Amino acid sequence: MRKHIFNAGPCVLPQQALEATAKAVVDFNGSGQSIMEVSHRGKEFQGVMDETVALMKELLKIPEGYSVLFLGGGASTQFLMVPFNLFNRKAAYLNTGVWAKKAIKEAKSFGEVVVVASSEDRNFNYIPKDFVVPADADYFHITTNNTIYGTELRKDIDSPVPLVADMSSDIMSRPVDVAKYAMIYGGAQKNLGPAGVTFVIIRDDILGKVERSIPTMMNYNTHIAEGSMFNTPPCINIFVVREVLKWVKAEGGVVEMERRAIAKADMLYKAMEESSMFVPTVPEPGDRSLMNITFVMTEAYKDKEALFIDFAKERGCVGLKGHRSVGGFRASCYNALDISSVAVLVQAMKDFEAIHA
């Protein structure tokens, strides 16, 4: 029986994407080869790559002048590639959690890093406001959604310098004004596909301006020139991303994904408002993530958190344990998680409280 998958990553995937991939693993398009065996330079896989790029451009309404790449190495490699390609004298970063801190650490190897604001003073349970981005920074880096702490920048911001965003865990969950960004990147495994492939959306004219020599594999222009095939790409992972994007399009696109995300989050946050046992870790509603909903038990019931994890698991809800740095619970409500799964979790919360409160 299919579980209610609340994992923070790898993410839950659409059933039709799973089934299409299962078929392609055995025989890709009647070729007599598995998708894991076909040549990445053959016309069969080139078609997969071309369609995946086209779907990204269509669904996100990516303007002309941007390239879409699919690379290995995860978002963590992008923490290094971004400054390699864009950092000349100074970079600005917004510190909203663990992944932002890791990106900041990499950038500091290249020169002056200005942390314009940080929410670390309250264990990252809010999004900083009213910060000033230095006009002489080469770029401003943000992490739009924070999987560990459950906060999210849910609107595109204006920046006086090129804006770079790690959108690993909220890409495709809402419409994005890509023109406001110089670059958007992220690991696929939080909302787009399986672990092992990273997407990069980059405005071509911001490249080629740094004074340093860039190692071949670290240079975005290397991968743009070769259509993400300078080296063998993660073929099966890109295939799954294509299937997920086809599902998103068929279901109504990013506008519909946002509607569903709001409905799922509202259902779960409302259950907490009505509860004397469960409370969200992010106090300000406007800062709360729609993708990663973090919550804990009130002090009176703290000793029952592990018991609830087991209780929910009996109902088929998996992946609810919070990150070790915050404890409690984390319900990741990515695109492919149906609202019926959230309803099962909410009922489990109510039933548990009725027994133990």
What is the domain-level CATH number for residue 178? Answer: 3.40.640.10
Q: Are 6 and 187 in contact (CB under 8 A)?
A: no
The torsion region of residue 74 among left (phi > 0), alpha (psi -120 to 50) and beta comes to left
Residue that finishes a domain, picked among 251, 279, 309: 251
Residue that finishes a domain, picked among 205, 226, 251: 251
* Residue 42 confidence (pLDDT): 87
Residues 6 or more apart in contact with residue 338 via CB below 8 angstroms? none
Shared-domain flag, residues 162 and 189 = yes
* Residue 327 confidence (pLDDT): 87
What is the domain-level CATH number for residue 352? Answer: 3.90.1150.10
Of 138, 166, 170, 287, catalytic: 166
Shared-domain flag, residues 184 and 290 = no
Shared-domain flag, residues 239 and 274 = no
* Residue 213 confidence (pLDDT): 96
Judge whether 168 lies within some domain: yes
Judge whether 4 lies within some domain: no
Shared-domain flag, residues 217 and 259 = no
Shared-domain flag, residues 114 and 136 = yes
Judge whether 288 lies within some domain: yes
Residue that finishes a domain, picked among 192, 220, 251: 251
166 is catalytic: yes
Task: Look up the domain containing 220 and give its range.
Answer: 15-251
Judge whether 2 lies within some domain: no
Shared-domain flag, residues 94 and 207 = yes
Judge whether 131 lies within some domain: yes
Shared-domain flag, residues 42 and 128 = yes
Shared-domain flag, residues 176 and 316 = no
Of 43, 136, 180, 190, catalytic: 190
Residues of the chain with pLDDT under 70: none
Of 27, 50, 57, 99, catalytic: 99
What's the total number of domains in the chain?
2
Q: Are 48 and 59 in contact (CB under 8 A)?
A: no
Shared-domain flag, residues 147 and 289 = no
Shared-domain flag, residues 333 and 187 = no
Judge whether 64 lies within some domain: yes
129 is catalytic: no
Give residue 22's identity as a one-letter amino acid code.
A
Judge whether 10 lies within some domain: no
Name the pTM for this structure.
0.96
* Residue 357 confidence (pLDDT): 83
Residues 6 or more apart in contact with residue 161 via CB below 8 angstroms? 92, 133, 134, 135, 136, 137, 138, 139, 140
Summarised one tens digit per residue, pLDDT across range 137-184 is 999 999 999 999 999 999 999 999 999 999 999 999 999 999 999 999
136 is catalytic: no
Shared-domain flag, residues 246 and 100 = yes
Shared-domain flag, residues 161 and 211 = yes
Judge whether 246 lies within some domain: yes
* Residue 324 confidence (pLDDT): 82
